Homo-oligomer: A and B are copies of this chain.
Amino acid sequence: MRVTVHEVAKLAGVSAMTVSRVVNRAAYVSPATRQRVEAAIAELGYVPNGLARAMTSRKTGALSVVVPDVTNPFFTHVLHGAEKTARQAGYRVTICSSEADEELERQYLSDIISNQADGVIIAPVGDSSRARLQVLRRNNVPFVLVDRSVAGLECDLVQGDSVGGARTLVSHLTSLGHRRIAMISEDEGVSTARDRQRGYEDALHDVGVQADPKLFVRATVTEDFEGGARAMRQLLTLKERPTAVFVVNNMAAVGAIRAIREGGLEVPGDIAVVAFDDVAHAAVLSPFLTVMAQPADMFGMLAVQLLLERITGRDEARRRIVVLPGDLIVRASSGTRVNTKESRRRR
C-alpha cells in the first residue's frame, strides 16, 4: 500500500540499500545514482517508515508527557514548554491525560513501554505512582518527574517551591490581618499538597497561630471546578467561618470562589482567597485572583532537557532536582487595594 524502499529501488534500478543510503545521505553514492533515486522518491512520494527504522535503530524519537489534566492551564504550559524543547531536539511528544486516575495512568505507562517511547515526562497522580514508575525503570525507559515528587522514589525532578510559595501566600494573608485562614488541599498522596500544607502551617506558626484542623479540607481535584466548590461549601458550614482561604491550585480556587459567591458571600469582602498557579487569560482579562505564579513553561523545558541528558547516555549523572521559585502576584481576591483600578472602572 504505502510506498517502500523496494519500490523506489526498482524504479530507480538500484538495490534497496542504495535507496537507504541516498535517504540518509550516507557515504559513497555516485551523483548519477543519487539523482535517479531522488527522482524515483519524488515520483512515488516515498516517505520512509519510521517504525521500521525504529526497529533497527532502537530509537523512536518519541517522548511521552503524562499530565493529570490537559485543560488545566498550568499543565497546558508545561506541555507546551516540553513540546517545544523536544521538537527542537528532534523528538515528538505524545500526551497522555491521566485524569488523576491511577488505573488510567498505569495503562498509559504500559502503553508507553510497549510503544518504545525514548523517555517520559510525568506529573504523577501521586505517591501511588511509585510502583508504576518502577515498571518503567525495569524496562529501561528514562523518565523525569515534573511538578510532583513521589515518596520513596529517587529520580530526576523539576518542581516549584511549594513550601516557600505557600508560606509566602499565607504570610500575605496574615500580613493583612487574617488569622482564621483555611486551606483547601487535595489528596494527601500528592507531594505538592503536602508541601503546601507545610508552608501554610509554617506561615501560621510565624504569627503564633496554631493550625485549626477544622479549617483544613481536602478537595478531589478534577478537571471541572467541583472539587474546590465542594470543599468550600464545607468550610462555609462552620459556625466560625474562616476570613481567608488558601487554595492548593488554580482549578480548585475557581471552584471555591464560585461556591463562595453562590453562598451569597463576596470575595474578598467576606472571604479573601489566594491560590497557587496563575491563569494567563483570566489574569489579563480581569485580574482578580491573588496567586503564586509558577513558570510552567520552564517546568516543561527543563524536564525535557534533563530527560534528553538521560537518554543520550551520561548515565553516571546522579539524581538531579530542580526547584523553581514562584512569583507572588497580589490582586483583588486577597483584599488589598492593588489592581482595583479595573474593577472600579467596570461599573
Nearest Cβ distance between residue A96 and chain B, in whole angstroms? Answer: 8
**A64-114 contacts to B (CB < 8 Å):** 70-71, 73, 76-77, 79-80, 83-84, 92-97, 110-111, 113-114
Partner of A113, one of B47, B73, B79: B47
Q: Give chain B residues whose Cβ lies under 8 Å from the Cβ of A111.
A: 50, 92
Contacts A51-B60, A282-B279 given; indicate if A97 touches B70 (C-beta within 8 A).
no
Closest chain B residue, CB of each to CB of A269: B345
- Segment from A14-22, A27-35, A119-127, A253-261 that makes contact with B: A253-261
Q: Find chain B residues with CB under 8 A from A284 CB.
A: 225, 254-255, 257-258
Contact segment of A133-141, A171-179, A236-244? A133-141
Q: CB-defined interface of A242-276 with B at 8 Å, one 1/0 digit per residue?
A: 00000000110011011001000011010000000
Given A135-B45, A342-B261: A114 and B70 within 8 A (CB)? no
A319 at the interface (CB under 8 A from B): no
Asked if A116 lies at the interface with its beta carbon under 8 angstroms from chain B, I say: yes
CB <8 Å contact, A115 and B266: no
Please state if A114 and B76 are interface contacts (CB–CB under 8 Å). Answer: no
Known: A250-B281, A285-B257. A76 touches B80 (CB 8 A): no
Please state if B288 and A110 are interface contacts (CB–CB under 8 Å). Answer: no
Complex Cα distance, B340 from A261, in Å, reads: 13
Contact partners of A343 in chain B: CB under 8 A: 343, 346-347
Instruction: Please give me the residue from chain B that is nearest to A138 by CB atom.
Output: B45
Q: Please give the distance in Å from A342's CB to the nearest CB on chain B.
A: 7
A49→B115 CA distance, assembly (Å): 6
Residues of chain B with a CB closer than 8 A to A84's CB: 97
Across the interface, A51 reaches (CB within 8 A) one of B54, B71, B138, B266, namely B54
Chain B hits for A1, CB < 8 A: 58, 140
Copies in the complex: 2
For A116, the chain B residues whose CB sits under 8 A away are 2, 49-51
Contact of A50 among B76, B114, B342 (CB under 8 A): B114
Most buried by B among A62, A116, A281, A289: A281
Return chain B residues, CB-CB under 8 Å to A269: 345
- Residues in chain B near residue A76, CB distance under 8 A: 70-71, 76
A residues lining the B interface (CB < 8 Å): 1-3, 45, 47-52, 54-55, 58, 60, 62, 70-71, 73, 76-77, 79-80, 83-84, 92-97, 110-111, 113-116, 135, 138-140, 223, 225, 250-251, 254-255, 257-258, 261, 266-267, 269, 279-282, 284-286, 288-289, 332, 340, 342-347
Can you list 26 A-B pairs, Cβ within 8 angstroms, ordered by A? A1-B58, A1-B140, A47-B139, A48-B114, A49-B114, A50-B114, A51-B51, A51-B55, A51-B115, A62-B115, A70-B76, A70-B79, A70-B83, A71-B76, A71-B77, A79-B95, A83-B95, A92-B94, A266-B346, A281-B281, A282-B285, A285-B289, A286-B286, A288-B346, A340-B346, A347-B347
Lowest 4 A-B CB distances belong to which pairs?
Answer: A282-B282, A50-B114, A50-B115, A286-B286
